Amino acid sequence: MQPGEIGSWVSTFRSMTDGPFQLNLWVPDPAPARDAKREEEVREFLAQWGPDVPAAAGDAVPPDFEAQCDALIVARPPIVSSVMGLFPRVYVERLRQHGISWFAVVSTLSEALEAEAAGADAIVVQGMEAGGHRAAFNPEKAERELVGLFALLPIVVDAVHVPVIATGGVADARGIVAALALGASAVQIGTGYLRCPEAEIHPAWADAIGQSAPEGTLVSRVFSGRPGRSIATRYVIAATGPDAPPPAPYPVQRGLTAPMRREANRDTSVDRLQAWAGQAGRLSRSDPAGEFTRRLWAEAQAMLAA
């Protein structure tokens, strides 16, 4: 979100509920090195999958991070979380002064230790099963350091002194109970909720999640330039194939794929959609999110009591 959009989103949210909420910020990478020849190859490739891509499409820039940080302070959520990096020390201090807790999302043990040393109040441990972008601080390491939640979670729990929240591949009560047994204080579910009506995702994307096998998703950079796990659609398979040009870095690739992604929203098939999905998509449910949540917790409590 642009900084100006954050306050109005929070006002709308507060007009509908007095429940607690969390706002999440991507910590930006340094500006990418541009390579006109490589971008042209990507544009030519993408023209086989959608409309012609103007050269300027790669100029897309992320929102102003400092202005986003300021907007979060004004919005005063109980919790702010970071992903793909850590907040600067001065900002951690400002959060503390305003009584806002900081949850840091990490994907490795060393990132968890860095987050604790930087003052995180809780650590969200993201296993490589997770749908969407990988939380890795350094995109160059994101594909090499693919650590699964079962190994990562107990090792982080042993190494840090703050509460740990487990995420990645959890989508039913069995996963919740397993994460709690491995030392988590809570779980965070993403893909499991995507088929709930409130998520309002494209029907082809929802169907693909419900039918996906765990091996039917792939981590790639082909949508945004940052590694993320999605359904292995026809586009993803072609764009990661030996004949495809390597994707441009984030956010250039995101800009270059925007025309195709816009057009894909009018498709009936999942082929060109940015269909983020984790490995446990088949466990997702299409019930309303509130019902799904209550059922998950009731089932988990029954399993814990047994």
Ligand X SMILES: Cc1cc2nc3c(=O)[nH]c(=O)nc-3n(C[C@H](O)[C@H](O)[C@H](O)COP(=O)(O)O)c2cc1C
* Residues in contact with ligand X by the rule CB under 6 A: 24, 83, 105, 126, 129-132, 167-171, 188-192, 276, 278, 280
Chain residue whose CB lies nearest ligand X = 190
Question: Please, what is the minimum distance in Å from the beta carbon of residue 185 to ligand X?
Answer: 16
Minimum CB separation of residue 132 from ligand X in Å reads 3
Token pair 């305003």 in the structure block, residue: 98
Nearer to ligand X, 83 or 204 (CB): 83
Measured CA to CA, the distance from residue 77 to residue 22 in angstroms comes to 6
Upper half-sphere CA count for residue 244 (Cβ side, 13 Å): 21
CB of 41 to ligand X, least distance (A): 28
For the chain, the 3-state helix, strand and coil shares in percent, each to the nearest 5, are: 45, 15, 40
Q: Could you tell me where the DSSP H helices lie in 202-250?
A: 203-211, 234-239
Nearer to ligand X, 132 or 154 (CB): 132
Nearest CB to ligand X, comparing residues 10 and 280: 280
Nearer to ligand X, 106 or 160 (CB): 106
The whole-angstrom separation of Cα 27 and Cα 111 is 14
Alpha carbon distance 118, 86 (integer Å): 8
Nearer to ligand X, 171 or 206 (CB): 171
Rounded least distance, CB 32 to ligand X, Å: 19
Nearest approach, Cβ of 21 to ligand X (angstroms)? 14
What letter would DSSP give residue 32?
A: P
